[in-house]
Amino acid sequence: MKHLKTLIHNARHRTLALFGALVLVAGIGMSTASVAQAASGTGQITGYQGLCLDDRSASTAQFNPIQVYTCNGTGAQQWTVGSNGSLQVLGNCLDVNGAGTANGTKVDLYTCNGTGAQVWQPQSNGALLNPNSGKCLDDTGFGGSGTQVQIWACAGSANQSWNLPGGGGGGGGGGGFVVSQAQFNQMFPNRNSFYTYSGLVTALNSYPAFATTGSATTQRQEAAAFLANVDHETGGLVYIREIDQSGNYCASESYGCPAGTYQYYGRGPLQISWNFNYYAAGNALGIDLLDNPDQVATNAAISWQTALWYWFTGTGNGGVTSHNAMVNGNGFGATIRAINDIECNGGNTAEMQDRVNDYQSFTSILGVSPGGNLTC
């Protein structure tokens, strides 16, 4: 396993760069502006935790519950996106019970009738808006397999983010992601089973601009850059939690450290740390990470979301986010500065070069040039 020793050193010092990257902005990447209706297609609709939208027991009965369920490829999970805004399964439609408008109204199966209760408009943050109620399709309570879906006020949260067949509704997810599952497995042959490809795809729904902005070359370069930094931070997606958890990453903030003074160590693909980063990431994602930071180490979709949150918001001492660095031509070196500035300007050339090596390897897998400005 590479970086077994250096991970301990880097994870502790990388957090100094994160300290300068505090962004207390709720709803980053969560615009509710409507986007064009997804093209017609048939396939699974994936949501929070990589679960699929499912017609319970494959029943065609009126008012049969629609739930989230472990993806299994059956007909109960094969949804057709209609040109009229409907979502159809087994010859029936996804329907807001009684054309209700209140939070918590159940969503079930009903004969397709073209009413407003059966119209679903994909949003730029992956949400599915029912315009008749002004509410969004919701995996209620961030529920697990078997939870019936409902409508709730649109919040831009992870449990309201869905990926339609062909990647629609979530921008960069599913079949639209420039990295295939086979390529992901090639990049991370020894990864921990916690870091799932489906978890990453689900997380992409919250950040539709990731690896979808600019030319095809730029999109692949951004995906490679993100995953290369992830590879370095986690030793090839092996580590979920920071090895050395003895550090005090509890900064003096009004909200304090309710989970415990020593509970804000690095976790996840980019090893997010410090109480203020958990607080800001949680606000942006609609998840209470300040009180429950270990969600980053126990829920694959949330874990990937925190990494993408930092990718889109953190600048470290570089003044530019990693996303902007890749789409605006600053080059891979600027992402290193945003994530761990201490490696730059000769601070730790070997560790910086390891990131560059990973990036060059991943761009090769994706069949694209790495571009210039690789170091910092």
Residues with a known catalytic role: 233
For residue 129, what is the DSSP state? E
Q: Which two tokens stand for residue 152?
A: 């709730």
CA proximity to 29, closest of 167, 170, 211, 207: 207
Which amino acid is located at 78 in the chain? Q
- In the chain, % helix, strand, coil (3-state, to 5) comes to 35, 15, 50
**Residue 22 C-beta-side C-alpha neighbours within 13 Å:** 12
**CA distances for 350 relative to 10, 346, 347, angstroms:** 12, 9, 9
Whether 326 and 332 have beta carbons less than 8 Å apart is answered as: yes
Whether 268 contacts 309, CB under 8 Å: no
Joined together, the tokens standing for residue 206 give 């919250």
Closest CA to 292 of 142, 113, 153, 166: 142
Of all helices (H) and strands (E), which one includes residue 151?
A: strand 150-153
Alpha-carbon distance of 202 to 146, in angstroms, equals: 18
Question: DSSP letters of 45-94?
Answer: -B-GGGPEEEEGGG--STTPBEEEE-----GGG-EEE-TTS-EEETTEEE
Three-state SS at 13: helix
Largest CA distance in the chain: 67
Q: Which of 43, 49, 50 is nearest to 76 (CA)?
A: 43
Looking at the DSSP assignment, which residues form a beta bridge with residue 69?
Answer: 52
In this structure, are residues 326 and 368 in contact, taking their beta carbons and an 8 Å threshold?
Answer: no
Length of the chain equals 376
